[in-house]
């Protein structure tokens, strides 16, 4: 739900910025330069805030299981490593050692995921989770 609100805020900020810039341009004949410049700069800042997703900085993150997400991201890296090792092995570029090492790292990562699966980030560090593996 917060993700939807952040998206709406970002789109609204971008629209307001663009609208303000167009208003300054359309009313340039009746506004002085001292009024035009700050309004144009404000419009650009609003537009950039929307484009760069600044609402993410101000609205809280709703993720509760950040440890599991991080381990899942590591698993994706390990999948790439496993694929690379398998291709190199099958093409005869190297032996089975790198493939088996990547496979073992994946098994360790799965064990870590099982240990932290129900542990939310609000209750502190996981006391008995096995160490996660990362790519060298």
DSSP codes of every residue in 6-60 = HHHHHHHHHHHHHHHHHHHHHTTTTS-HHHHHHHHHHHHHHHHHHHTTTHHHHSP
Is pTM beyond 0.85? Reply is no
Output 1 or 98, whichever has higher pLDDT: 98
Q: Could you tell me if 33 and 79 lie in one domain? A: no
DSSP class of 116? H
- Asked if residue 90 belongs to a domain, the reply is yes
Q: Could you tell me if 37 and 78 lie in one domain? A: no
Q: Could you tell me if 41 and 86 lie in one domain? A: no
- Residue after which a domain boundary falls, among 40, 58, 76: 58
- Asked if residue 75 belongs to a domain, the reply is yes
Whether the predicted pLDDT of 135 surpasses 60: no
Whether the predicted pLDDT of 96 surpasses 70: yes
- Asked if residue 11 belongs to a domain, the reply is yes
- Asked if residue 129 belongs to a domain, the reply is no
Count the domains in the chain: 2
Structural domain containing residue 52:
2-58
């Amino acid at each position: 739900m917060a993700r939807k609100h952040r998206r709406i805020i970002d789109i609204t900020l971008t629209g307001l910025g663009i609208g303000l810039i167009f208003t300054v341009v359309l009313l340039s004949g009746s506004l002085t330069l001292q009024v035009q410049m700050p309004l144009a700069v404000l419009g650009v800042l609003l537009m950039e805030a929307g484009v760069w997703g600044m609402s993410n900085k101000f609205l809280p993150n709703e993720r509760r299981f950040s440890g599991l997400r991080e381990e899942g991201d590591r698993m994706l890296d390990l999948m790439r490593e496993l694929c690379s090792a398998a291709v190199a092995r099958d093409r005869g570029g190297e032996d089975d050692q790198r493939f088996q090492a990547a496979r073992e790292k994946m098994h360790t990562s799965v064990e870590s995921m099982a240990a932290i699966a129900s542990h939310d980030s609000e209750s502190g560090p996981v006391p008995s989770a096995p160490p996660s593996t990362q790519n060298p």
